[in-house]
Structure 1
């Protein structure tokens, strides 16, 4: 782990596109400003861990949860055929 000392309004660069700035220091709390491209997610660690737990929970699919999927796709297919235009030139 790289450990740096910074004062208020000083920044560090991560790569070419991420800037972390010390915005405020109050007692034992430091406020950081993080400027990063929108395609790079930035989360507090506890939020990131909660997202990871939820993703893991969602990825564990119970086979019982999928037993009726065929019924829905059959209904969708049937409804699509019933509502399909009957030939060229229909609006």
Structure 2
């Protein structure tokens, strides 16, 4: 893990296309601005984890349900 210190109005570059800007600092809360190409998805970690869990759950489909669905599409 890389650990960097930044002050308000400073930024960090990730590669050539992603910039993290420190917008404000209020106590223990830091507001970040993220400048990235539209094709790069940016999520809060708890939202990302929820998406990953939902994707895993969608893979847990019973064999009988798959067989029923495949018979309807024939």
Same fold (TM over 0.5): yes
Cα distance change on mapping 1:67 and 1:46 into 2, 3 Å: same
Question: Could you tell me how far 1:67 is from its partner in structure 2?
Answer: 2.7
In the other structure, the counterpart of 1:38 is: 38
Q: Secondary structure at the match of 1:9?
A: coil
- Structure 2: runs of 5+ lacking an equivalent: none
In the other structure, the counterpart of 1:82 is: none
- When normalised by structure 1's length, the TM-score is 0.74
Question: Could you tell me how far 1:23 is from its partner in structure 2?
Answer: 0.7
Higher strand share: 2
Q: Cα RMSD (Å) of the superposition?
A: 1.2
Which protein is bigger by CA-based radius of gyration? 1
Q: How far apart, CA to CA, are the structure 2 residues paired with 1:71 and 1:57?
A: 23
Name the structure, 1 or 2, with higher relative contact order (CA <8 Å, separation 6+): 2
- Structure 1: runs of 5+ lacking an equivalent: 75-91
Aligned runs of 1:43-82 on 2, under 5 Å?
Answer: 43-74=43-74
Q: How far apart, CA to CA, are the structure 2 residues paired with 1:29 and 1:69?
A: 49
How many equivalent residue pairs? 74
Q: How far apart, CA to CA, are the structure 1 residues paired with 2:39 and 2:54?
A: 21
